[in-house]
Chain A
């Protein structure tokens, strides 16, 4: 069930009604659990097996880890007087290893399923190509695999929970149904945000009363999400799909335009979907984390990734970046550089300092790239982003020197605009690999960008991409609207306010007019239904 379908609206309305009318407040969460099960089952029963497996295995393994911790602590307490320091240390280490193995079991099982379903064919194809190149007569078969709804999101969320229990940052959930509720919360199951157990779980289980202000704000956020998703993203994607369907036949200007359009489409689609998710959750009294904070206003690529798909960034930071950056391997390497002759120089000292973080960043973005899809182009996407961040960290002192030499005021607005434009261009280059059908086509696009720019041909090609002039104009107007809204959000965020709170202070007529115009915008300008083409109605004879 798509978040922008009429059925989804009805589903949410029905759930809201039942949830708030359910007399046993303490058990209101069960209504949401039933809604999750219904929502997931509607997508297909076969998918349910996977989410159930991940939920049950995460639930049991977290309990197991906690049990190991508890019994270890109990034993240590009982042997407090008996054991010396070394014995205690050895036992603690043994417990840690045991817990780690148990945690690894959860990770291997669940990431194994994800990796197999998502990457097996990519892996087998690549391996077969490699073996073929060496004329080795062996090939792995290609399988007809399907991806269960939201598998990446619930797997990441559940594994984050297991690691948090392992790290003793959170207590394991004793109630399996409550845990299933956390793993399958329907507003976020399709596209996140990837929530952290400690932030989300207690909100899910608390009995919430109906709050009109939350209901109104939730509806407003959903409406804004609809505008972004079905007015902007679903319109822009028509032209993008036309290009990707016949990618190699377009010139550099058209491809450049497509990448720009993609930057709009991707942001509107993803952030619009998240707005709908957050709006629905807000109606139930649940605050999901923000996943986008005006990413195209970023002044560096690392800032961009702190503003874009924030929950994925947080997850990567907590569960991949830190373990790598603080691993013995990198810390030792850093120490060794520091001790060496090179480490005594300014450059060496800097490299020794930032080596763990820069390499960890590269690895994280490699993972992010692969997470986006099973293809070499996504690997390139990850390497591009991670590589830029790594170079940025390593070359920071040189940039600082250049800026000082040129007497550039770092707080100057023009410098900020330059930084934003530079970051946006770097982001666009990454998007090339996202849009292009393959890695080689992505590289070709970069070459065409420099060698095949022709405005006249480009414009005539752009006008054949399935959108008329009026639709391009509409996209332009809505891009300006998003830009203005983003500026207001940026300005008011410092005061801890959002646009909906600002709107609350306006008069009744202004508030309702905004909602009225929003709804009518979706109805009139949204891309939905079977579509109308005046030509279908022309019968030449009469």
Chain B
């Protein structure tokens, strides 16, 4: 091959290479920020990876109870420790281990708080639900724990879990509305952290008319076993925590315990027994509404979840419990990290102020970090 020919071939290969590179970069950008299922789960999980290495003191693992029941920015402003809820809606305990492995990979938390509600569902509730599985798997970076998780949960072609664009490319049909959360993820990426640290709740006040069992739970001792799959997942999780000497507190966050979900409380007693057998701490909060200061007719937005008012009370109580029992001190953060956490606390405070106004107008709203909501509370920032 002559020099001229060689140059031509090299030039051609460079051109093809640059086209392929441009295509790959474009696809990655679209997959990451545009053609994906954007919601609070994605914002929260992606936000976790934005936290500086070894800067999070407490990692919460669980389902929706965690991010609706505890506010990391508020806890920081009150007690000085940093925390983050690595949780997604209707997350099952089968996914918890992947979350812990990811947390350990990027942080060295002083404490893990594991909310066990994800182990109490029925056999078929959420276990094989594609959205439940994908809320976690889609948002993990490609690494060994993601591969392990996908192998375990994949209900369709595995390639779709590693290249989610195969599933989500058709979301363009939901635009521009569908960009609301995606824009928030993009902004967090550029900002370097997310503002609310994954908090999500509502201001809706739920009035429960039927009999509640929260005040007589101490008399209910009958346990119900967990589903086989969830019990195995719990044991696998406990083994991992034990073998890796993780400091873990297991808990069940406050719920309205009614006839319809009494069995979950009974399952939590069964789970508590297993957890204690492994030597881990467990605190049940369903029976501590008065102690926490929760009014079941004011502080829940539905039977399972605390609203913004309940969240503040719960954060006050649980934050204090953690500092007292787990020796959590003010986080040792760099000035810029402190600034970021203060900013988060300010935003959370702005939310609280904005909702005072809403209450006066007898309106309710979601507490969350989507693009529209963040814009709407800007005026409440000092």
* Chain A residues packing against B (C-beta within 8 Å): 6, 212, 468, 470-471, 508, 512, 515-516, 519-520, 523-532, 534, 536-537, 539, 541-542
Contacts and interface: CB of A to CB of B under 8 A. Distances in A.
Interface stretch (B168-176, B228-236, B338-346): B168-176
B172 A524 contact: yes
B19 A512 contact: yes
Given A516-B23, A520-B26, A542-B305, 14 more contacts: A512-B15, A512-B19, A516-B19, A516-B26, A520-B23, A520-B27, A523-B169, A524-B169, A526-B169, A527-B170, A532-B167, A536-B131, A537-B37, A537-B131
Contact of B89 (A468, A470, A529, A539): A539
Contacts of A531: 167, 170
A541 B264 CA distance: 16
A318 to B, nearest CB: 42
Nearest to B23: A519
A526 B27 CA distance: 14
A530 B157 contact: yes
Nearest to B131: A537
Contacts of B94: none
> Is chain B's binding surface mostly helix, strand, loop or mixed?
helix
A523 B173 contact: no
B167 A524 contact: no
B35 interface: yes
Interface residues of B, number: 39
Nearest to A529: B166
Contacts of A534: 37, 171, 174, 178
B212 interface: no
Contacts, number: 79
B22 A516 contact: yes
8 contacts: A515-B19, A516-B22, A523-B165, A525-B169, A528-B166, A532-B37, A532-B171, A534-B171
B130 A536 contact: yes
Nearest to B90: A539
Contact of B167 (A212, A468, A512, A529): A529
B42 to A, nearest CB: 10
A58 to B, nearest CB: 39
B168 A532 contact: yes
A537 B39 contact: yes
A542 B302 contact: yes
B167 A470 contact: no
A113 B60 CA distance: 67
A212 B16 CA distance: 11
B203 interface: no
A130 to B, nearest CB: 47
Interface string B39-77: 100000000000000000000000010001000000000
A527 B167 CA distance: 10
Given A524-B30, A530-B160, A541 B15 contact: no
Nearest to A526: B169
